[in-house]
Amino acid sequence: MKDTDADWAMLGEGEPFFGVLSDPRFLRANITPAALEEFWQTGRNEMHGYRQLIQTHFGDFSDASALDFGCGVGRLTRAMGEMCRQATGLDISPGMLVEARRHAPANVNYVSELGDETFDWLNSIIVFQHIPPQRGYRLLDDLLARVNPGGALSLHVTLFKDESFLTHLWPTLRRGQWDGDRFVSFDHDQGDVGGMEMYDYDMSRIIEMTSRHGFHNLIIQHTNHGGCHGVIMFGRKGR
């Protein structure tokens, strides 16, 4: 299994903001106070949208404690801190955490590992796509167990890639899925490709897991980031 933690340690050290949102304006050499404010604003916009969606479908949870798994520099965690009593950001990249702590409000803390804490809201956006699924499924199982009864979920996973992402690797390929072990072409069998660090998950396994952990009612939003298709799943654990 590829050591993706080493990739993120390097990215967090060198280009923490660009590592989160790959826009040249967020490179260390280019970032201005205005661009930084824009960066934080993307987080507020996203989290307000997610909270709105969860509240509309599953009811209020505004005084919750929240966990942002794969928090990066805290783009989303800070926004969660504005909505919740307390927010925790968890990341394996030391450089990301240094930057996150530099901008941390009083009710937001950043950690590299958890004890036995549980939470009222689990959020993870554009993170599992970078973790080999064999490891990702285990991590997700643990995280879902940490959601308190009645707690909320906003979880992004990637599922497949289309030709706009793949054709530079394999000119005849139109759509496929990379789970870290095997590349499966949806059009015809092309064998293994390998070398890509944008992983795809199996939705059946994810739903089996969310269901086993008590999320019986989910809302699913389709995402497409440059040809990497996935979903954000919103739900609330049964009481």
Ligand X SMILES: C[S@@+](CC[C@H](N)C(=O)[O-])C[C@H]1O[C@@H](n2cnc3c(N)ncnc32)[C@H](O)[C@@H]1O
Which of 135, 175 has the CB closer to ligand X? 135
CB of 67 to ligand X, least distance (A): 11
Smallest distance from ligand X to CB 63, Å: 23
- Minimum distance from CB of 93 to ligand X (Å)? 3
C-alpha distances (whole Å) from 134 to each of 138, 198, 204 are 7, 14, 14
The smaller minimum CB distance to ligand X, of residues 8 and 119, is found at 8
8-state DSSP, 213: T
- What is the pairing mode between strands 119-124 and 86-90? unpaired
Q: Which residue has the CB atom at the shortest distance from ligand X?
A: 72
Helix ranges (H only) for the chain are 4-14, 16-20, 33-58, 75-83, 94-102, 133-145, 163-166, 203-212
Nearest to 128 by CA among 26, 230, 21: 230
Shortest reach from residue 52's CB to ligand X, in Å: 18
Report how far apart, in Å, the C-alpha atoms of 211 and of each of 105, 194, 200 are: 34, 31, 20
Q: Which is nearer to ligand X, 91 or 120 (CB)?
A: 91
Query: Which residues are at the interface with ligand X (CB under 6 A)?
Result: 4, 8, 12, 20, 70-72, 75-76, 90-93, 96, 125-127, 130-131
Q: Which amino acid is at 162?
A: D
3-state secondary structure of 141: helix
Smallest gap from Cβ 187 to ligand X, in A, equals: 28
Contacts of 156 (CB under 8 A, 6+ apart): 124, 125, 126, 127, 128, 129, 223, 230, 231, 232, 233
Nearer to ligand X among residue 80 and residue 173 (C-beta): 80
Nearer CB in complex with ligand X: 218/232: 232
* Number of other residues whose CB lies within 10 A of the CB of residue 102: 11
Minimum distance, C-beta of residue 128 to ligand X, in the bound complex (Å): 8
If the CB atoms of residues 30 and 134 are measured against ligand X, the closer one turns out to be 134
